[in-house]
Structure 1
């Protein structure tokens, strides 16, 4: 019960990595608030899983890229649970597209969701933690793409590098308040973001062969690492980045 009686907020929490982190946080004793855009029935499934574990949960719907969504989410969590102990910035998109004819609106939307949204949400959560006065933990889901390029991800990789950099700077800015800021860098995880790209058996086999552990990641592979960074087991860890990629990055070097 590494997060016993903590309150955890997760963006992009209705599916994929965010849902897995939300459920694992509940399994470790936390009450959980999830935020998603168009969550609907999928979000309700996550809520039911959390409640089945004996913890409380709420879902807040909104566009993570909108500045006002951040304060709305934090306020809803405080109203429901009284405080914010852990914030997980996970929401992100990656509409694969070639570089030379990248539509401006695709670039803009990816930047707004992945980077601006992470910034606004982290800022709102941090302000609540500072107001409470007893520290906290912020974990951002970056990506191995912060460290390596991708032909069809020229709009995406800069945002994930930015999220990692944001956590490094926030670790400095918020350390005096007892707030730790870290990032996890997932490798290739089977989520809605890449399900179409990996539908080709040859492409999937190629990706698997690049991973020393021999398989693609599952969303729940991120639950433990995020909980660890959020918990007191990592009480002297801040400004760090944890690769969760089955060894892909070291194999690519």
Structure 2
């Protein structure tokens, strides 16, 4: 049974990793149209085109918009293109995130600023703009889902810039749930643990670090983008129609594995 039949879904950072897995999972569960944002460099251009072909073969309509999510103009283009193509937006998955691992004491100010701009500012821009669209469309309402991280709950020696942005994203969704409930808009956050994506590919090439992270899980493996996509689709679906302001940890048990 499809969980998101006929829904129009907007996903930022959709060309690879969690964003791409979410796009394919929404297609599997009956979404009729996808608004796909991607960075727009040569590599992501190729990735988004192959994704569009795959989605079109499944009968899903797609519009894609390139741009730096840290720029407000990119958000404006995403929402305008989506509404022009499909008339409304029912679901937002705010997924874009970067984590350039860096030692705190020697971290360049530019690393802090860029991480904040992409992760937090970019999330705020797209959430606000899509929520405004959801509030004025008929019928009102929709589901806002932000990809946060357990790094917003836990410390990491090389994540003193990344963790605070993810903590802020989780809190942003809690506040949005309160502010937007009267419009029928739900807001929730998904907090992945260590997921094998490009964001940590270089870090996990260290065999010792990879083994440590695997052993921290209770499932005995690192997560995949598909492991995150399922909970995202749940939040978007009517199965979660009474769920808002919630944070769901998807980490294979890392967070609770104290001993």
TM-score category, normalised to shorter length: over 0.9
2:160 to 135, 138, 154: 154
TM-score by length of 2: 0.96
Find the counterpart in structure 2 of residue 178 from structure 1.
Answer: 184
Q: Can you list the C-alpha shifts for 1:102-131, whole angstroms capped at 9, x where unaligned? A: 100110000000000000000000000011
Secondary structure of the residue aligned to 2:219 is coil
Q: Can you list the C-alpha shifts for 1:209-243, whole angstroms capped at 9, x where unaligned? A: 00000000001111110000011100000000001
What runs of 5+ residues in structure 1 fail to find an aligned partner?
none
Q: Can you list the C-alpha shifts for 1:132-185, whole angstroms capped at 9, x where unaligned? A: 042100000000111101100100000000000000000000000000000000
Q: Distance in 2 between matches of 1:49 and 1:159?
A: 33
Q: How many residues align?
A: 253
What runs of 5+ residues in structure 2 fail to find an aligned partner?
none
1:70 to 60, 63, 75: 75
Secondary structure of the residue aligned to 2:189 is strand
Alignment of 1:111-126 (within 5 A): 111-126=116-131
Find the counterpart in structure 1 of residue 27 from structure 2.
Answer: 26
Tell me whether 1:240 sits opposite 2:242 in the alignment.
no
Find the counterpart in structure 2 of residue 45 from structure 1.
Answer: 50
Cα RMSD after superposing both structures: 0.9
2:151 to 141, 145, 159: 145
Of the structure 1 ranges 147-156 and 128-137, higher mean CA displacement relative to structure 2 is found in: 128-137
The Cα of 1:199 is off from its aligned counterpart by 0.6
Secondary structure of the residue aligned to 1:222 is helix
Q: Can you list the C-alpha shifts for 1:57-105, whole angstroms capped at 9, x where unaligned? A: 1210011010121121011011111110000100010000000011001
Q: Distance in 2 between matches of 1:49 and 1:192?
A: 21
Find the counterpart in structure 2 of residue 36 from structure 1.
Answer: 38
Q: Distance in 1 between matches of 2:258 and 2:71?
A: 36
After TM superposition, which residue ranges in structure 1, 4 or more long, deviate above 2 angstroms?
Answer: none
Find the counterpart in structure 1 of residue 219 from structure 2.
Answer: 213
The Cα of 1:252 is off from its aligned counterpart by 3.2
Tell me whether 1:4 sits opposite 2:5 in the alignment.
yes
Q: Distance in 1 between matches of 2:59 and 2:218?
A: 37
